[in-house]
Structure 1
């Protein structure tokens, strides 16, 4: 009998094969790959070429612009940096056994890992929570994806209540762990936590290609009308009875959500990235297709 990680991976592989292959018509196979550094030849400059590749010495001698050509390195190292803090467990249970944002991040991470590894590339993971973290060194193959899946399905350690997520420490850990070579890094988080994360994120993007995926539950943006309910802050453990039908409360929460969105957008701009928003009620494969296509446009 197959294990839960194997069942999840097989289900996602089936969905990838049926839908992703057809929608992208094989283009995803060359979206995420390495950048070569070995010089091989010179050729005449064309309007589509990057001016940074012009060989100015040869251009001066021949009185025509020439560009240097390089051997493309097909091997890529990808990292999944995944926020596993308490706030990521907000939302309804799903097929993978997780809740809301946590299961959305898990399924998206496993899908990305399998997609990257299918091109013969290596993938590693950094699973972060205030109570501890786990680093899975990058390797290739389906067994590596299965290992990452297995760890993601394990419940994260329980940290002390009253402490919000230290996103700055998570991104600094990512920078330290991935410092050896330029990599493609996927950062998955709801970005609910202490401020100051924009500076280490900017340093990370300076060295690596970074794709930021912000996982959001719609109920965090617009409170549903459920009457009087008991709510608990997953990060601090604070509990409070609230009347979700109260117009004043709904208006105040909407204002707070708007201010949080504005602050997050400003932080992303300071870091020099454009976060891709994925919601828990969104079709996951559609989100992945959009992610691949956007990344492809950015790498050309």
Structure 2
């Protein structure tokens, strides 16, 4: 996939140094945290709505008292309203673990004039917003290979600090091997422009331990449409390679066919393990894909 890493118009030649500069997080992280919190505020909370009785803190419903139950379960205030005894049932809740991984490799630094933000910024905002949302809903959130699962109210800041301190993440375009327990949810966020066999191996390593997962493919609009004509130059920021194309319009058809084949292969990898795939373009609001992920995780938890 060398020719599909990063696409750009002639006259601009991004390289590894530019990409790393664009991926520097410390100065931008406060702004990204604020944006992530805005996204999180738009999402639905209460992922643990299982709609059945069980241990938990959230009130679900009153039901008639059944002979043989402990009298301590009776809600006397509600029972005083008529001649029946009632029990206050709480909704079934059980904390789960959600693991996040966010691609910060060189290709993620790309942003065309059509995008709202570089791919890495959108991936970070999405990851931080999901962390905040899941913790608010009672889940534990961890970073694969970086931070253990926790349900801290300051999860956004903790995730951000772990990412800023992890310089090695700039060289990794796939998640590290990490212990994932059965029924844990894993959300991998990146552009996944690596060879499909490598993605397949990474997913298999996680799914083999019982983890249920989601691939979130972050793409720049230019990487999808290749809207160039005339002479253009393609750059692979991971390997530092470039390719000059004399007739970009003619080359674009072959490119779009190849990128679609790559997307189809990713979908096949996900289906093989019961995972989901979500495609997110950086000219669309982050809240769209965030809501989809929250819904997918909630649906699995209720299953």
Common fold: TM-score over 0.5: yes
* Contact in 1 for aligned 2:48/2:92 (Cα 8 Å): no
Superposed, which structure 2 residues align to 1:127-276 within 5 Å? 135-152=146-163, 156-157=167-168, 167=174, 170=175, 173-174=177-178, 177-179=179-181, 182-194=183-195, 195-206=197-208, 207-225=210-228, 227-243=230-246, 246-276=248-278
Shift of 1:111: 0.3
Structure 1 CA distance for aligned equivalents of residues 218 and 104 of structure 2: 12
Structure 2 CA distance for aligned equivalents of residues 255 and 94 of structure 1: 21
Shift of 1:184: 1.9
Structure 2 CA distance for aligned equivalents of residues 122 and 94 of structure 1: 36
Shift of 1:108: 0.4
Structure 1 CA distance for aligned equivalents of residues 123 and 135 of structure 2: 18
Bigger relative contact order (CA 8 A; separation at least 6): 2
* Contact in 2 for aligned 1:202/1:272 (Cα 8 Å): no
1:51-72 CA distances to partner (integer Å, 9 max, x unpaired)? xxxxxxxxxxxxxxxxxxxx95
* Counterpart residue number, 2:140: 122
Shift of 1:280: 1.2
* Contact in 1 for aligned 2:215/2:270 (Cα 8 Å): no
Structure 1 CA distance for aligned equivalents of residues 28 and 225 of structure 2: 33
* Contact in 2 for aligned 1:91/1:101 (Cα 8 Å): yes
Please tell me whether residue 13 in structure 1 is matched to residue 15 in structure 2: no
Structure 1 CA distance for aligned equivalents of residues 286 and 109 of structure 2: 17
* Contact in 1 for aligned 2:115/2:282 (Cα 8 Å): no
Shift of 1:156: 4.2
* Contact in 2 for aligned 1:117/1:142 (Cα 8 Å): yes
SS of 2:137's partner is: coil
Uncovered stretches (5+) of structure 2, i.e. residues with no partner: 1-26, 56-90
**Pair 242,150 (structure 1): closer, same or farther in 2 beyond 3 Å:** farther
* Contact in 2 for aligned 1:106/1:152 (Cα 8 Å): no
Structure 2 CA distance for aligned equivalents of residues 139 and 258 of structure 1: 38
1:83-113 CA distances to partner (integer Å, 9 max, x unpaired)? 22222222249999xx622111100000000
Shift of 1:236: 0.8
Structure 2 CA distance for aligned equivalents of residues 95 and 248 of structure 1: 24
CA RMSD of aligned residues (A): 3.4
Structure 2 CA distance for aligned equivalents of residues 296 and 111 of structure 1: 16
Which of 1 and 2 has greater Rg? 2
**Pair 156,280 (structure 1): closer, same or farther in 2 beyond 3 Å:** farther
Shift of 1:282: 1.6
Structure 1 CA distance for aligned equivalents of residues 103 and 215 of structure 2: 12
Structure 1 CA distance for aligned equivalents of residues 113 and 48 of structure 2: 32
> Which moves more between the two structures, 257-266 or 214-223?
257-266
* Contact in 1 for aligned 2:33/2:128 (Cα 8 Å): yes
**Pair 12,262 (structure 1): closer, same or farther in 2 beyond 3 Å:** closer
SS of 2:218's partner is: strand
* 1:88 aligns with one of 93, 97, 108: 108
> Which moves more between the two structures, 270-279 or 194-203?
194-203
Structure 2 CA distance for aligned equivalents of residues 249 and 150 of structure 1: 42
Structure 1 CA distance for aligned equivalents of residues 292 and 227 of structure 2: 28
Count of residue pairs brought into register by the alignment:
236
